[in-house]
Structures are given as C-alpha cells and as structure tokens.
Amino acid sequence: TRTFFLGILVGISSIGGYIFSLYQNGWTAGFPLEEGSSIHQKAVTIAFVTLVLTQMANAYNSRSSTASAFKNFFKNFALLGSVGLSIIFVIAATKIPAIRNAINITDLEKTEWLIPITAGLAVILIEETRKIFIRHKKQKWISQISRN
C-alpha cells in the first residue's frame, strides 16, 4: 500500500509539473500542442526533472517503513553516492547542450527548478508525516499492552 501510494504521488507530481509548465508557458487546453515545440520541450523537461528528484527523495524514504528518512542519513554511502550522482546528472542534462539534445530536453530557469524541488520535498514531507503517525500509533499500542 505504501509503495502504491508513493508511486501515485510521484506520478501526480510529474504529470502535475508537466501540465503546470504548459499553462505557465502559454498553452491553453483544447489547443494542439506540437511535439518538439519549446512549450512541449519545457514541460517534458520539468516532468523529467520532477520524476528524478521525487524518486531520489523516495529512495531515502524507502529505507524504512517507520524510521525517518533522516535517521542515519549519511551512513549508507552507496545510496548517498547514487542519489548525488543522479542529481548531478539531471543538472548536467539540463545544462550541457550535447546531453540536452541527446535526450530532447531543454535548460530550466532558476525559478522553474522550484517545481521539481518542491515536489521532491513534498514526497519527503508526506511520507515523514505518515511515519510519525505510524510511530505514534505503535508507541500508543505498546503502552496499552504494557499497562495490561
């Protein structure tokens, strides 16, 4: 259930970023959108970056179903390295023309990075809130058992 919920959240974030970008760049629902147009390319880029950043947040969230993602944050060097390299790659992919052209994305303005960053933080915040609730519920259950 947790994996399904997080998958839905990541999907909604990516599609939401795509649609938000379309509207921000002048597209109107009902009008055709040419594949490869600058509006389409910008929206695809935001969806791609959002997907990468939310999955990196999800990687840390997935280490435990109850413990905080921030617990022992720097202890798993393999995860830290792979998340770091993924973030470096996605930044490079939007900044280096050869990579951008190869995967058909475009550069993002500083303000456009707010969409994927906010989505990644939202994934962490929502999952951390769920974990706090689960830990509280578990502690309450344990204290009730210990009283009996």
The tens digit of pLDDT for each residue in 89-139 reads: 999 999 999 999 999 999 999 999 999 999 999 999 999 999 999 888 877
CA 132 to chain centre: 20
Q: Taken in order 107, 111, 112, 113, is the CA torsion positive or negative?
A: positive
User: pLDDT: is 146 or 45 the higher one?
Assistant: 45
pTM of the predicted structure, to 2 decimals: 0.86
Q: CB of 57 within 8 A of CB of 63? A: no
Nearest to 2 by CA among 88, 43, 63, 92: 63
Report how far residue 72's alpha carbon sits from residue 40's, in angstroms, rounded to the nearest whole number.
Answer: 40
* For range 143-148, the mean pLDDT: 69
pLDDT tens readout for residues 38-95: 999 999 999 999 999 999 999 988 888 888 888 888 898 999 999 999 999 999 999 9
